[in-house]
Structure 1
Amino acid sequence: MAQGDRIDLCIVGAGPAGIAAAERALARGLRVVLVEAGEFGGVAHNWGALPSQALAAAAERADHIRNARNLGLGTDEPRINFARINARIRAMIEDANATVSPEHLVGQGVEIVKGRARFTGPATIEVAGRSIKAPHFLLATGSRPILPDIPGRDGVPFFTPETIFELTRRPSHLIVVGAGATGLALAQAHLRLGAKVTVVEMLEPLAGEDSELVDIVLRRLRAEGLELRIHTGIVSIAGGNEQVALDIKAGPDEERIEGTHLLFATGREPDFEGLGLEAARVRMQGARPALARFGRTSNRRIFLVGDAAGHVGVHAARHSAELAVDAIAGSAGAEGLVPHVVDTSPAIARIGMTEPEARARFKDRFEIVRIALAQTDAALARAERHGHAKIILDDSGRVVGAGVVGPTASELVPVFALAIARKMTLSELGGLVVPYPSFAQIIPLAAAEYARGHPGAAFTGWRRLLKRLLP
């Protein structure tokens, strides 16, 4: 695209949301400029979700080796080589670069401008000495780690979730501050790779998640050897090279814990540094711009998507970006159901309403069906008994929400998403023929459990299904 050509959409940020937006815009026939100051693929690709999954995969293999006796095999403690793990992660990222590289995007028809963008007015940005004017802007600038203000913090070396992959030697004792989804996933990975790990959390671990599902994860983590300090504040930090000490306080009691490495996983905040949103006349609401539907800001030319808009997870970021582009192109559809996933082992995945949300909407006119994954033959065969499904139904038996904790949670939850979207009853969903043996057996098992308390449910469900299918 020549510099003088008309631009329909200027995207700032080439992470998952920005790239998804660019590809969607091209499919809608829009002329696109994509601005990026750093690495293409963003945090998720280079320092976040992708390397985290690779680290977790190595840790899971180590755990399988360590516990092979559960399957009747002889076991030895796995030999961990952090340098090789790190090298494999970097190589894997390089292999994945093909789909997020500037060359790939240029080949599709996206104009790339490298540099830091700054709004100079409501419809203009300046980047790399060039002024870009467009009818619409889409901001996909991502987020950055939040670092707690603790006395002594700046005097000790520490890691964030973006820098922890620089480790080439196994930490003897990793102290993780923060028991959210990222903190616990990284803590468990290092634990399984042979490090001693202590997690310190001021509040509840995995706050905001269903405590019923969280309890299963925490029991597993503690059984694996994780030391978890909750309702614990940090008074101060001290230390030096591979020597860190935290003075902590739980209630009136104070003590000191010592480790070799420190990781802060205390949340993220949107990254608007240097963007000049005030010049763009964007009204703020706390740390983020006030947003209307599809991420539109108070400046109707400007949309905010992805992590910067509070959409957690690559899949959620991409979805928000595609919806925003559809709105810009005048073909906006309904917002889809977005799964929420916690990548511990076992993982947590949920969709639709939570129990508190169902109680607020339906009062006592809803029902919960619970099934342990241990009831499936797949769990017995694979020696994977840690898991639980919680399905929320309205008073007509329709699925309105579901949460699964277990080894295949993220693969199971889309089935419940489809049921919610199609307004299916649990009885209708139970009519699915699932492979044997598989963890998907929880679906017919849950339907059978529901039918025991509702004798007419199976017939009603099939009648509804036939009515929908027949002309």
Structure 2
Amino acid sequence: MAQDDKIDLCIVGAGPAGIAGAERAAAQGLRVVLVESGEIGGVAHNWGALPSQALSAAAERAHQIRTARDLGLGADEPRINFARVNARIRAMIDDVSPTVSSEHLIGQGIEIVRGRAKFTGPAALDVGGRSIKASYYFVATGSRPVLPDIPGRNAIAYFTPETIFELTRRPTHLVVIGAGATGLALAQAHLRLGAKVSVVEMVEPLAGEDSELVECALRRLRAEGLQLHTHTGVVSISASGDDEMTIDIKSGPDETQLVGSHLLFATGREPDVDGLGLELARVRMAGRRPALEKFGRTSNRRIFIVGDAAGHNGVHAARHSAERAIDAVTGNAGAEALVPRIVYTQPAIAWAGLTEYEARAKLGDRFEIVRCPLSQTAAAWARAESHGHVKFIVDRAGRVLGAGVVGSAAPELVSIFALAIAQKLTLSNLGALVVPYGAFAQIVVTAAAEFARGRPDGGSKGWQNKLKRLLP
């Protein structure tokens, strides 16, 4: 493509957000250039979310073998070969790669430019000496791990969530610093694959998530053998012999030591925007992060930040943010969709809409909480997965304002909750669902019945409205 050709959109970063934005824009007839200096698919595809899901799947299968007696089968300790698990993860990534390959994108009319990008002004981007001038620019460069400044950190070998999949031997004792969603999911996966695992967290695990749901998940993790040190800081790290390290930790006045074989830092992420020349593009910053308006628009009206670089968590959220920004650019933006939050532990945690804390701050006491244990479904008992419950935040008319679930089916159920909130449905509306027998979704109908119990109007807005709709 000649440099003076009209380019509608230039996207920097070919991860989930960049690819989703490029495909959406190309489908709407825009001329798109997608710039990437590394692997197509980004961190999520090559070193992050996808391999993490594959590792968790292997760990879940090992857990099922170990607990097969719960279903009346012979149980045994699974034979785990970390090298084979690692090889399967790499093979799986290769198998999926055609869906995010250059050829796949080029086939949709998207031009791929390889190289590092840097803004040279408010409306110009340089990639390896080529000046790209476009009507709009999307920065979808993702995020990178934040590493705490701990004495001795750089004197020992350690892993991040992007490098932990390089392990080809099972850790004897994996120490995870950080009990957020990523840290706990990776900790549980390695625990189920036979490693001893300790997690150290300065504050509360999964801070910001619903405490009821979190406590339910943590009980299961502890029951499986996870050693969880909360309100605990890391004082220092040092090598302590062949293939061992000592982590000095402190909780209040109490100090102790953990002796581990491997160390994983899962202490958060920050936007990976260094070196992009955002200052030359006149993008206003808020500390180390670009200051963003609706749809990820920056102070430079041509430039948007999307995906993890804009602080969105999860592949689904990153993709959605890019697609929303494309719709805003093309004038097709409709009502904003509700993006669920998911923690991929087992049991998983998922939430959509207002939390209990947010409801109290916004509504005072003008809301109700409806809880139902998953053990009220046939699916839970048939599959020996009776742990967990759903939690609905509803107004006094029964309209769903927020909802969460902890349990193995959480990632599937939360989509129903998000749709109900977006469509302003009531629990009475959800109670009309016809759910196949043996599905975890039966809990939604059960919760609706629980809310309606004892109410003269059955939990709806009143029989009068229903009658009016039937009259001519």
TM-score, normalising length from structure 1? 0.97
| Number of the residue aligned with 1:14 | 14
1:411 paired with 2:412, answer yes
Residue equivalent to 2:361: 360
* Structure-1 residue corresponding to 2:429: 428
1:286, CA displacement in angstroms? 2.0
Within 5 A, what are the aligned runs for 1:311-326?
311-326=312-327
> 1:116: Cα distance to partner?
0.7
Moved more, 382-391 or 460-469: 460-469
Taking the TM superposition and a 5 Å limit, the aligned residue runs for 1:32-47 are: 32-47=32-47
Q: Which residue of 1 aligns with 2:31?
A: 31
Q: Is the 8 A contact 2:174 2:197 kept in 1?
A: yes
Equivalence map 1:286-435=2 (5 Å) = 286-435=287-436
Kindly provide the CA deviation profile for residues 213-246 of structure 1, in whole angstroms up to 9, marking residues without a partner as x.
Answer: 0000000000000000011111100016521110
Residue 4 of structure 1 deviates from its aligned partner by 3.8
Shift of 1:463: 6.8
Distance apart, 1:83 and its partner CA: 0.5
Tell me the equivalent position of 1:71: 71
Q: 1-side partners of 2:403 and 2:220: how far apart?
A: 21
CA distance in 2, matches of 1:453, 1:236: 58
Q: Residue 288 of structure 1 aligns to which amino acid in structure 2?
A: R
The one-letter code sitting in structure 2 at the alignment partner of 1:21 is G
Most deviating of 52-61 and 238-247: 238-247
- Does residue 225 of structure 1 match 2:225? yes
SS at match of 2:453: helix
Q: CA-atom RMSD, angstroms?
A: 1.6
Aligned to 2:107, the other structure's residue is in SS state helix
Q: CA deviation at 1:465?
A: 7.1
Distance 2:424 2:289 in 1: 34
Aligned-partner Cα distance in 1 for 2:287–2:391:
34
Q: CA, structure 1 residues 250+36, in 2 after alignment: closer, same or farther (shift >3 Å)?
A: same
| Most deviating of 32-41 and 444-453 | 444-453
Query: CA 1:461–1:321 in structure 2 vs 1: closer, same or farther (change >3 Å)?
Result: farther
Q: Give the whole-Å Cα distance in 2 for the aligned partners of 1:466 and 1:14.
A: 54
TM-score (norm 2): 0.97
Amino acid across the alignment from 1:59: A
Partner of 1:237: 237
Structure-1 separation of matches of 2:162 and 2:34: 24
- Which stretch of structure 1 is more off in the superposition, 49-58 or 455-464? 455-464
- Distance in 2 of aligned mates of 1:169 and 1:459: 57
Judged with a 3 Å threshold, the aligned counterparts in structure 2 of structure 1 residues 466 and 117 are, in CA distance, closer, same or farther, namely farther
Corresponding residue number in structure 2 for 1:267:
268
Q: Post-superposition shift, 1:6?
A: 0.9
Partner in structure 2 of residue 196 of structure 1 = 196
Check whether the contact 1:157–1:241 (CA below 8 A) recurs between aligned residues: no
CA deviation digits over 1:359-393, x for unaligned, max 9? 11211110010000011111111110111100010
Aligned to 2:7, the other structure's residue is in SS state coil
TM superposition shift of 1:29: 0.9
| C-alpha distance in 2 between matches for 1:462 and 1:62 | 52
Q: Which amino acid aligns with 2:109?
A: G
Note the C-alpha offset of 1:400.
0.8
Which residue number corresponds to residue 184 of structure 1? Answer: 184
- Which ranges in structure 1 are unaligned for 5 or more consecutive residues? none
For the structure 1 residues 22 and 241, does the alpha-carbon distance in structure 2 shift closer, same or farther, using more than 3 Å as the test?
Answer: farther
C-alpha displacement at 1:3, in angstroms? 4.1
The answer to whether the 8 Å contact 1:430/1:443 transfers is: yes
Give the counterpart letter for 1:6 in structure 2. K
Counterpart of 1:138 in structure 2 is 138
After superposition, the C-alpha distances for 1:379-420 in whole angstroms (9 at most, x for unaligned) are 111110111100010121101110000000010111111111
Query: What amino acid is the match of 1:60?
Result: E
> Per the alignment, in what secondary structure is the counterpart of residue 457 of structure 1?
coil
- In the alignment, the residues of structure 2 paired with residue 94 and residue 468 of structure 1 have an alpha-carbon distance, to the nearest angstrom, of 56
Give the letter for the 1:224 counterpart. E
**% identity of equivalent residues:** 73
User: Who is 2:57 aligned against?
Assistant: 57
The answer for the alignment partner of 2:93 in structure 1 is 93
The question of whether the paired residues in 1 share the 8 Å contact of 2:250 and 2:256 is answered with: yes
Shift of 1:468: 7.7
Q: Deviations over 1:66-96 (max 9, x none)?
A: 0001111111100001000000000000011
Amino acid at match of 1:426: L
Quick one: which amino acid aligns to residue 326 of structure 2? V
In 1, the alpha carbon distance for the partners of 2:117 and 2:362 equals 43
350-359 or 327-336: bigger deviation: 327-336
Contact 2:397 2:459 in 1 (8 A): no
Q: What letter is aligned with 1:67?
A: T
| In structure 2, C-alpha distance between the alignment counterparts of 1:288 and 1:421, rounded to whole Å | 30
1:405-441 residue CA offsets vs partner (Å, 9 max, x unmatched): 0000010111111111111110111110111112111
In structure 2, do the counterparts of structure 1 residues 470 and 315 end up closer, same or farther at CA, with 3 Å as the change threshold? farther
Point out the more displaced range, 351-360 or 187-196: 351-360
- Rounded Cα–Cα distance in structure 1 between residues aligned with 2:327 and 2:298: 16
Q: Which amino acid aligns with 2:209?
A: E
8 Å contact from structure 2 (residues 36, 113) kept in 1: yes
Measured in 2, the distance between the counterparts of 1:462 and 1:2 equals 67
SS at match of 1:88: helix
Large movers: runs of 4+ above 6 Å? 465-471
Q: How far 1:263 moved relative to its partner?
A: 0.4
Q: Is the 1:425–1:461 Cα contact (8 Å) retained in structure 2? A: no
Contact 2:400 2:420 in 1 (8 A): yes
Cα distance in structure 1, aligned partners of 2:404 and 2:278: 38
How many angstroms apart in 2 are the aligned matches of 1:272 and 1:225?
39
Three-state SS of the structure 1 residue aligned to 2:444 is: helix
Across the two proteins, how many residue pairs are aligned to each other? 471
CA contact (8 A) 1:158 1:264 kept: yes
| Distance change in 2, residues 1:463/1:390 (3 Å) | farther
C-alpha distance in structure 2 between counterparts of 1:149 and 1:167, whole Å:
24
Structure 2: which 5+ runs fail to align?
A: none
Q: Distance in 1 between matches of 2:452 and 2:130?
A: 66
Shift of 1:464: 5.6
Shift, 1:453, TM fit: 3.4
